[in-house]
Amino acid sequence: MASTTIEQIREEIEGLKKAGTYKVAPVLASAMGPVVKLADGKEVINLCSNNYLGLANHPEVLRGAKEALDKFGNGTASVRFICGTFTIHQELEKTIAEFLSTERATTYVSCWNANEALVPTLLGESDAVISDELNHASIIDACRLCGKKVTRLIYKHSDMADLKNKLEEAKDARRKLIITDGVFSMEGDLANLPEIVQLAQQYDALVAVDDSHAHGVLGKGGRGTPEHFGVKVDIITGTLGKALGGAAGGFIAASEPIIELMVQRSRPQIFSNALPPATAGGALAAIKLLQNNPQLINQLQENVAYLRNGLKELGYNVIDSPSAIIPIIIGDTAKAIRMADEMLKYDILITGFGFPVVPEGTARLRAQVSAAHTRSHLDKALEAFKALREM
Ligand SMILES: Cc1ncc(COP(=O)(O)O)c(C=O)c1O
Protein backbone atom coordinates (compact mmCIF):
# COMPACT_ATOMS: atom_id res chain seq x y z
CA MET A 1 0.00 0.00 0.00
CA ALA A 2 2.60 2.51 1.13
CA SER A 3 4.93 1.60 -1.75
CA THR A 4 2.12 2.41 -4.22
CA THR A 5 1.80 5.81 -2.60
CA ILE A 6 5.54 6.46 -2.86
CA GLU A 7 5.42 5.41 -6.53
CA GLN A 8 2.60 7.90 -7.13
CA ILE A 9 4.62 10.64 -5.46
CA ARG A 10 7.63 9.80 -7.66
CA GLU A 11 5.40 10.12 -10.71
CA GLU A 12 4.13 13.45 -9.43
CA ILE A 13 7.72 14.71 -9.19
CA GLU A 14 8.48 13.41 -12.69
CA GLY A 15 5.39 15.36 -13.79
CA LEU A 16 6.92 18.55 -12.38
CA LYS A 17 10.05 17.91 -14.45
CA LYS A 18 8.00 17.38 -17.59
CA ALA A 19 5.99 20.54 -16.90
CA GLY A 20 9.20 22.54 -16.45
CA THR A 21 8.28 23.54 -12.90
CA TYR A 22 10.86 21.38 -11.13
CA LYS A 23 13.17 23.68 -9.19
CA VAL A 24 16.86 23.26 -8.54
CA ALA A 25 17.91 25.85 -5.98
CA PRO A 26 21.34 27.47 -6.24
CA VAL A 27 23.30 26.72 -3.06
CA LEU A 28 25.31 29.56 -1.56
CA ALA A 29 28.52 29.17 0.38
CA SER A 30 28.69 32.78 1.56
CA ALA A 31 26.56 35.36 3.29
CA MET A 32 23.84 37.09 1.27
CA GLY A 33 25.13 40.13 -0.59
CA PRO A 34 25.35 41.83 -3.98
CA VAL A 35 28.00 39.22 -4.82
CA VAL A 36 27.68 35.68 -3.48
CA LYS A 37 29.78 32.56 -3.64
CA LEU A 38 28.08 29.43 -4.94
CA ALA A 39 28.75 26.04 -3.38
CA ASP A 40 31.25 25.24 -6.18
CA GLY A 41 33.25 28.35 -5.24
CA LYS A 42 32.13 30.46 -8.21
CA GLU A 43 31.45 34.12 -7.36
CA VAL A 44 28.41 35.63 -9.00
CA ILE A 45 26.60 38.97 -9.01
CA ASN A 46 23.30 38.37 -7.30
CA LEU A 47 20.26 39.72 -9.12
CA CYS A 48 17.67 37.55 -7.42
CA SER A 49 17.61 38.22 -3.71
CA ASN A 50 15.20 40.42 -1.77
CA ASN A 51 18.14 41.97 0.07
CA TYR A 52 17.01 45.35 -1.24
CA LEU A 53 19.02 47.49 1.14
CA GLY A 54 21.98 45.15 1.48
CA LEU A 55 21.36 44.77 5.22
CA ALA A 56 21.32 40.96 5.45
CA ASN A 57 25.02 40.93 6.32
CA HIS A 58 25.44 44.53 7.50
CA PRO A 59 27.72 44.91 10.57
CA GLU A 60 25.13 46.88 12.56
CA VAL A 61 22.45 44.28 11.85
CA LEU A 62 24.82 41.48 12.84
CA ARG A 63 25.67 43.37 16.03
CA GLY A 64 21.95 43.71 16.86
CA ALA A 65 21.46 40.00 16.27
CA LYS A 66 24.53 39.00 18.30
CA GLU A 67 23.63 41.24 21.23
CA ALA A 68 20.13 39.76 21.32
CA LEU A 69 21.58 36.25 21.07
CA ASP A 70 23.96 36.93 23.97
CA LYS A 71 21.27 38.48 26.13
CA PHE A 72 18.29 36.23 25.38
CA GLY A 73 19.82 33.01 24.09
CA ASN A 74 18.71 30.94 21.15
CA GLY A 75 14.97 31.06 21.53
CA THR A 76 11.89 31.47 23.63
CA ALA A 77 11.09 27.77 24.06
CA SER A 78 7.53 28.97 24.38
CA VAL A 79 4.72 30.58 22.49
CA ARG A 80 4.20 34.27 23.11
CA PHE A 81 1.36 34.14 25.62
CA ILE A 82 2.88 31.48 27.89
CA CYS A 83 6.41 32.75 28.54
CA GLY A 84 7.75 33.53 25.06
CA THR A 85 7.48 37.31 24.98
CA PHE A 86 10.86 38.95 25.57
CA THR A 87 11.61 42.64 25.83
CA ILE A 88 13.31 42.44 22.42
CA HIS A 89 9.92 41.49 20.90
CA GLN A 90 8.26 44.43 22.60
CA GLU A 91 10.99 46.78 21.44
CA LEU A 92 10.80 45.48 17.87
CA GLU A 93 7.01 45.77 17.75
CA LYS A 94 7.09 49.30 19.17
CA THR A 95 9.68 50.25 16.55
CA ILE A 96 7.64 48.74 13.69
CA ALA A 97 4.51 50.59 14.84
CA GLU A 98 6.42 53.88 15.10
CA PHE A 99 8.09 53.31 11.73
CA LEU A 100 4.76 52.70 10.01
CA SER A 101 2.79 55.24 12.09
CA THR A 102 0.26 52.71 13.36
CA GLU A 103 -1.00 52.37 16.92
CA ARG A 104 0.52 48.95 17.43
CA ALA A 105 2.24 46.00 15.76
CA THR A 106 2.72 42.34 16.52
CA THR A 107 5.25 39.90 15.08
CA TYR A 108 5.16 36.36 13.70
CA VAL A 109 7.89 33.98 12.58
CA SER A 110 7.14 34.93 8.97
CA CYS A 111 4.93 37.19 6.91
CA TRP A 112 3.37 33.99 5.62
CA ASN A 113 2.20 33.41 9.19
CA ALA A 114 1.19 37.04 9.62
CA ASN A 115 -1.10 36.88 6.59
CA GLU A 116 -2.51 33.54 7.66
CA ALA A 117 -3.10 35.03 11.09
CA LEU A 118 -4.77 38.18 9.86
CA VAL A 119 -7.53 37.11 7.53
CA PRO A 120 -9.20 34.19 9.36
CA THR A 121 -8.86 35.94 12.73
CA LEU A 122 -10.38 39.19 11.55
CA LEU A 123 -13.21 37.67 9.55
CA GLY A 124 -15.98 35.28 10.49
CA GLU A 125 -19.62 34.52 9.84
CA SER A 126 -21.28 37.05 7.48
CA ASP A 127 -17.98 38.72 6.54
CA ALA A 128 -16.29 39.09 3.16
CA VAL A 129 -12.73 39.25 1.90
CA ILE A 130 -11.98 40.80 -1.46
CA SER A 131 -8.56 39.89 -2.80
CA ASP A 132 -6.51 40.80 -5.90
CA GLU A 133 -6.06 37.77 -8.16
CA LEU A 134 -2.28 38.20 -8.20
CA ASN A 135 -1.87 38.39 -4.43
CA HIS A 136 0.93 36.42 -2.83
CA ALA A 137 0.28 32.73 -2.14
CA SER A 138 0.17 33.41 1.61
CA ILE A 139 -2.80 35.76 1.13
CA ILE A 140 -4.53 33.27 -1.14
CA ASP A 141 -4.09 30.56 1.49
CA ALA A 142 -5.10 32.96 4.26
CA CYS A 143 -8.39 33.60 2.44
CA ARG A 144 -8.90 29.84 1.94
CA LEU A 145 -8.33 29.30 5.66
CA CYS A 146 -11.49 31.29 6.35
CA GLY A 147 -13.48 28.38 5.00
CA LYS A 148 -17.06 28.68 3.84
CA LYS A 149 -18.23 31.03 6.56
CA VAL A 150 -16.52 34.01 4.90
CA THR A 151 -17.49 35.15 1.40
CA ARG A 152 -14.34 35.12 -0.73
CA LEU A 153 -14.28 37.36 -3.76
CA ILE A 154 -11.33 37.74 -6.12
CA TYR A 155 -11.01 40.79 -8.33
CA LYS A 156 -9.07 40.97 -11.58
CA HIS A 157 -5.54 42.21 -11.07
CA SER A 158 -5.62 45.93 -10.20
CA ASP A 159 -8.98 46.27 -11.99
CA MET A 160 -10.79 48.93 -9.99
CA ALA A 161 -14.07 48.47 -11.84
CA ASP A 162 -14.02 44.79 -10.91
CA LEU A 163 -13.11 45.64 -7.30
CA LYS A 164 -16.13 47.97 -7.21
CA ASN A 165 -18.35 45.15 -8.56
CA LYS A 166 -17.09 42.80 -5.89
CA LEU A 167 -17.63 45.40 -3.16
CA GLU A 168 -21.16 45.84 -4.45
CA GLU A 169 -21.63 42.07 -4.29
CA ALA A 170 -20.38 42.10 -0.68
CA LYS A 171 -22.21 45.22 0.42
CA ASP A 172 -24.40 43.45 2.97
CA ALA A 173 -21.49 41.70 4.67
CA ARG A 174 -20.88 42.57 8.33
CA ARG A 175 -17.14 43.21 7.82
CA LYS A 176 -15.47 43.72 4.46
CA LEU A 177 -11.72 43.42 3.99
CA ILE A 178 -9.92 44.40 0.78
CA ILE A 179 -6.50 42.77 0.77
CA THR A 180 -3.69 43.40 -1.68
CA ASP A 181 0.03 43.13 -2.15
CA GLY A 182 1.60 46.61 -2.14
CA VAL A 183 4.14 45.49 -4.76
CA PHE A 184 3.23 42.38 -6.74
CA SER A 185 6.14 40.01 -6.66
CA MET A 186 6.00 38.66 -10.22
CA GLU A 187 5.02 41.88 -12.02
CA GLY A 188 6.81 44.35 -9.75
CA ASP A 189 3.84 46.70 -10.19
CA LEU A 190 2.11 48.62 -7.40
CA ALA A 191 -1.42 48.26 -6.10
CA ASN A 192 -3.57 51.28 -6.95
CA LEU A 193 -3.86 52.30 -3.31
CA PRO A 194 -5.42 55.74 -3.84
CA GLU A 195 -8.41 54.21 -5.65
CA ILE A 196 -8.58 51.18 -3.39
CA VAL A 197 -8.75 53.44 -0.33
CA GLN A 198 -11.42 55.58 -1.96
CA LEU A 199 -13.56 52.54 -2.81
CA ALA A 200 -13.03 51.18 0.70
CA GLN A 201 -14.37 54.41 2.16
CA GLN A 202 -17.35 54.32 -0.17
CA TYR A 203 -18.22 50.74 0.85
CA ASP A 204 -17.09 50.91 4.48
CA ALA A 205 -14.41 48.27 3.98
CA LEU A 206 -11.05 47.81 5.68
CA VAL A 207 -7.89 47.84 3.56
CA ALA A 208 -4.96 45.52 4.30
CA VAL A 209 -1.72 45.84 2.35
CA ASP A 210 1.09 43.29 2.34
CA ASP A 211 4.09 45.53 1.73
CA SER A 212 6.76 42.83 1.92
CA HIS A 213 8.41 44.04 -1.30
CA ALA A 214 7.86 47.73 -0.51
CA HIS A 215 9.26 48.24 2.99
CA GLY A 216 12.72 49.71 2.67
CA VAL A 217 12.05 50.28 -1.03
CA LEU A 218 9.20 52.73 -1.59
CA GLY A 219 8.33 56.05 0.00
CA LYS A 220 10.84 58.66 1.11
CA GLY A 221 11.50 56.85 4.37
CA GLY A 222 11.04 53.33 3.00
CA ARG A 223 7.64 52.97 4.68
CA GLY A 224 6.12 51.32 1.65
CA THR A 225 3.23 51.93 -0.71
CA PRO A 226 1.05 54.04 1.64
CA GLU A 227 3.96 56.47 2.02
CA HIS A 228 4.66 56.32 -1.73
CA PHE A 229 1.06 57.31 -2.56
CA GLY A 230 0.48 59.50 0.50
CA VAL A 231 -2.53 57.49 1.69
CA LYS A 232 -3.46 55.70 4.91
CA VAL A 233 -4.56 52.08 5.09
CA ASP A 234 -6.06 50.18 8.01
CA ILE A 235 -3.70 47.21 8.19
CA ILE A 236 -0.15 46.63 7.00
CA THR A 237 1.58 43.29 6.90
CA GLY A 238 5.22 42.85 6.01
CA THR A 239 8.26 40.64 6.21
CA LEU A 240 11.50 41.08 8.11
CA GLY A 241 13.07 38.64 5.65
CA LYS A 242 13.67 41.01 2.74
CA ALA A 243 14.88 44.64 3.03
CA LEU A 244 14.43 44.82 6.83
CA GLY A 245 17.36 42.61 7.80
CA GLY A 246 16.85 39.68 5.44
CA ALA A 247 16.56 36.97 8.10
CA ALA A 248 12.96 35.99 8.78
CA GLY A 249 9.89 37.19 10.59
CA GLY A 250 6.73 39.02 9.73
CA PHE A 251 4.35 41.46 11.32
CA ILE A 252 0.93 43.01 11.33
CA ALA A 253 0.72 46.75 12.06
CA ALA A 254 -2.68 48.32 12.63
CA SER A 255 -4.92 49.98 15.20
CA GLU A 256 -4.81 48.84 18.82
CA PRO A 257 -8.04 46.73 18.73
CA ILE A 258 -7.02 44.86 15.58
CA ILE A 259 -3.62 43.98 17.04
CA GLU A 260 -5.14 43.04 20.39
CA LEU A 261 -7.50 40.68 18.54
CA MET A 262 -4.49 39.10 16.78
CA VAL A 263 -2.64 38.65 20.07
CA GLN A 264 -5.71 37.12 21.71
CA ARG A 265 -6.95 34.97 18.86
CA SER A 266 -4.55 34.46 15.95
CA ARG A 267 -3.56 30.82 15.79
CA PRO A 268 -0.05 31.20 14.27
CA GLN A 269 0.89 33.27 17.33
CA ILE A 270 -1.01 31.40 20.01
CA PHE A 271 0.14 27.94 18.93
CA SER A 272 3.65 28.58 17.57
CA ASN A 273 6.91 29.83 19.05
CA ALA A 274 7.91 33.49 18.94
CA LEU A 275 10.47 35.04 16.63
CA PRO A 276 13.97 33.92 17.78
CA PRO A 277 15.68 36.74 19.72
CA ALA A 278 18.67 37.05 17.35
CA THR A 279 16.27 37.42 14.42
CA ALA A 280 14.28 40.04 16.31
CA GLY A 281 17.49 41.88 17.29
CA GLY A 282 18.76 41.87 13.70
CA ALA A 283 15.45 43.17 12.35
CA LEU A 284 15.31 45.87 15.03
CA ALA A 285 18.81 47.03 14.08
CA ALA A 286 17.87 47.00 10.38
CA ILE A 287 14.80 49.21 10.89
CA LYS A 288 16.79 51.64 13.04
CA LEU A 289 19.53 51.70 10.43
CA LEU A 290 16.98 52.55 7.75
CA GLN A 291 15.41 55.26 9.92
CA ASN A 292 18.83 56.83 10.44
CA ASN A 293 19.97 56.40 6.82
CA PRO A 294 17.06 57.17 4.49
CA GLN A 295 19.64 57.85 1.75
CA LEU A 296 19.79 54.06 1.36
CA ILE A 297 16.44 54.34 -0.43
CA ASN A 298 17.89 56.92 -2.86
CA GLN A 299 20.82 54.62 -3.55
CA LEU A 300 18.44 51.74 -4.25
CA GLN A 301 16.21 53.87 -6.47
CA GLU A 302 19.24 55.10 -8.46
CA ASN A 303 20.37 51.52 -8.99
CA VAL A 304 16.89 50.41 -10.04
CA ALA A 305 16.62 53.24 -12.58
CA TYR A 306 20.12 52.51 -13.92
CA LEU A 307 19.46 48.81 -14.54
CA ARG A 308 15.94 49.36 -15.84
CA ASN A 309 17.05 52.03 -18.32
CA GLY A 310 20.07 49.98 -19.37
CA LEU A 311 17.84 46.99 -20.12
CA LYS A 312 15.44 49.16 -22.10
CA GLU A 313 18.32 50.60 -24.12
CA LEU A 314 19.33 47.05 -24.97
CA GLY A 315 15.83 46.54 -26.36
CA TYR A 316 14.46 44.32 -23.59
CA ASN A 317 10.78 44.38 -22.76
CA VAL A 318 10.75 45.36 -19.07
CA ILE A 319 7.68 46.09 -16.98
CA ASP A 320 7.81 49.66 -15.69
CA SER A 321 7.31 50.51 -12.02
CA PRO A 322 9.19 52.25 -9.21
CA SER A 323 9.70 48.96 -7.34
CA ALA A 324 13.03 47.12 -7.15
CA ILE A 325 11.61 44.16 -9.07
CA ILE A 326 12.34 44.30 -12.79
CA PRO A 327 10.56 41.62 -14.80
CA ILE A 328 12.19 41.15 -18.21
CA ILE A 329 9.56 39.54 -20.41
CA ILE A 330 10.97 36.83 -22.65
CA GLY A 331 7.77 35.02 -23.61
CA ASP A 332 8.74 31.39 -24.02
CA THR A 333 9.34 29.44 -20.79
CA ALA A 334 12.15 27.26 -22.15
CA LYS A 335 13.93 30.34 -23.50
CA ALA A 336 13.64 32.23 -20.18
CA ILE A 337 15.05 29.25 -18.27
CA ARG A 338 17.84 28.85 -20.84
CA MET A 339 18.71 32.53 -20.56
CA ALA A 340 18.93 32.31 -16.77
CA ASP A 341 21.34 29.36 -17.17
CA GLU A 342 23.31 31.30 -19.75
CA MET A 343 23.58 34.34 -17.43
CA LEU A 344 25.36 32.13 -14.92
CA LYS A 345 28.15 31.61 -17.47
CA TYR A 346 28.60 35.39 -17.28
CA ASP A 347 28.67 35.18 -13.46
CA ILE A 348 25.20 36.61 -13.02
CA LEU A 349 22.67 34.88 -10.78
CA ILE A 350 19.12 35.58 -11.95
CA THR A 351 15.92 33.52 -11.93
CA GLY A 352 13.73 32.60 -14.87
CA PHE A 353 9.99 32.13 -14.27
CA GLY A 354 7.65 30.42 -16.66
CA PHE A 355 4.14 29.07 -16.90
CA PRO A 356 2.29 28.23 -14.60
CA VAL A 357 4.00 30.63 -12.13
CA VAL A 358 3.28 33.45 -14.60
CA PRO A 359 0.68 33.50 -17.41
CA GLU A 360 1.53 31.49 -20.54
CA GLY A 361 3.56 33.47 -23.06
CA THR A 362 4.92 35.88 -20.42
CA ALA A 363 7.89 33.84 -19.14
CA ARG A 364 10.49 36.14 -17.75
CA LEU A 365 13.75 36.78 -16.02
CA ARG A 366 13.19 38.63 -12.78
CA ALA A 367 15.95 41.02 -11.77
CA GLN A 368 15.96 42.33 -8.22
CA VAL A 369 18.14 45.27 -7.41
CA SER A 370 19.90 46.14 -4.15
CA ALA A 371 21.27 49.40 -2.77
CA ALA A 372 24.46 47.38 -2.22
CA HIS A 373 25.00 46.80 -5.95
CA THR A 374 27.79 49.00 -7.27
CA ARG A 375 27.74 50.60 -10.69
CA SER A 376 30.30 48.04 -11.83
CA HIS A 377 28.03 45.14 -10.72
CA LEU A 378 25.18 46.60 -12.73
CA ASP A 379 27.42 47.29 -15.74
CA LYS A 380 28.63 43.70 -15.67
CA ALA A 381 25.04 42.49 -15.58
CA LEU A 382 24.14 44.75 -18.51
CA GLU A 383 27.11 43.40 -20.51
CA ALA A 384 25.79 39.88 -19.95
CA PHE A 385 22.28 40.93 -20.98
CA LYS A 386 23.80 42.51 -24.10
CA ALA A 387 25.57 39.28 -25.00
CA LEU A 388 22.34 37.36 -24.51
CA ARG A 389 20.34 39.73 -26.66
CA GLU A 390 21.55 37.78 -29.68
CA MET A 391 20.38 34.41 -28.29
C1 LIG B 1 4.17 39.68 -0.91
C2 LIG B 1 4.75 38.64 0.00
N3 LIG B 1 4.11 38.36 1.15
C4 LIG B 1 4.58 37.45 2.01
C5 LIG B 1 5.74 36.77 1.75
C6 LIG B 1 6.23 35.76 2.74
O7 LIG B 1 7.20 36.35 3.53
P8 LIG B 1 7.99 35.48 4.60
O9 LIG B 1 9.21 34.96 3.92
O10 LIG B 1 8.28 36.43 5.72
O11 LIG B 1 7.06 34.40 5.02
C12 LIG B 1 6.45 37.02 0.59
C13 LIG B 1 7.69 36.27 0.32
O14 LIG B 1 8.08 35.98 -0.77
C15 LIG B 1 5.93 37.98 -0.32
O16 LIG B 1 6.57 38.24 -1.47
| All structural domains of the chain with their residue ranges | 20-49+294-389, 59-292
> To test the ligand 1 pocket, which listed residue (187, 209, 212, 275) has its Cβ within 8 A of the most ligand atoms?
212
58, 36, 31: which is closest to 46 by C-alpha? 36
Whether 59-292 and 20-49+294-389 are alike in CATH topology: the answer is: no
CATH topology of domain 59-292: Aspartate Aminotransferase; domain 2 (3.40.640)
pTM: 0.97
Residue 127's alpha-carbon distances to 150, 173, 205, in angstroms, are 5, 5, 11
Cα 332 to ligand 1 centroid, rounded to whole Å: 26
52, 60, 32: which is closest to 296 by C-alpha? 52
Phi and psi torsions of 138, nearest 5°: -70, -30
pLDDT at 1: 61
Cα 242 to ligand 1 centroid, rounded to whole Å: 8
Strand-pair partners of 265: none
> To test the ligand 1 pocket, which listed residue (96, 107, 112, 251) has its Cβ within 8 A of the most ligand atoms?
112
272, 269, 266: which is closest to 124 by C-alpha? 266
- Please state whether the peptide bond connecting residue 59 to the residue before it is cis, i.e. omega within 30 degrees of 0: no
For atom 15 of ligand 1, the residue with the nearest CA is 212
Phi and psi torsions of 351, nearest 5°: -105, 140
Range list of β-strands (E), 324-385: 325-331, 348-349, 351-353, 363-368
Cα 197 to ligand 1 centroid, rounded to whole Å: 23
Strands 351-353 and 363-368: antiparallel
CATH number of 20-49+294-389: 3.90.1150.10
Cα R_g (the chain), whole angstroms: 21
Give residues (CB < 6 A) around ligand 1. Answer: 110-112, 136, 138, 181, 185, 210, 212-213, 239, 241, 250
Q: For every one of its 391 residues, what pLDDT tens digit does the chain have, with 9 covering 90 and above?
A: 678 999 999 999 999 888 777 888 999 999 999 999 999 999 999 999 999 999 999 999 999 999 999 999 999 999 999 999 999 999 999 999 999 999 999 999 999 999 999 999 999 999 999 999 999 999 999 999 999 999 999 999 999 999 999 999 999 999 999 999 999 999 999 999 999 999 999 999 999 999 999 999 999 999 999 999 999 999 999 999 999 999 999 999 999 999 999 999 999 999 999 999 999 999 999 999 999 999 999 999 999 999 999 999 999 999 999 999 999 999 998 899 899 999 999 999 999 998 888 888 999 999 999 999 999 999 999 999 999 987 6
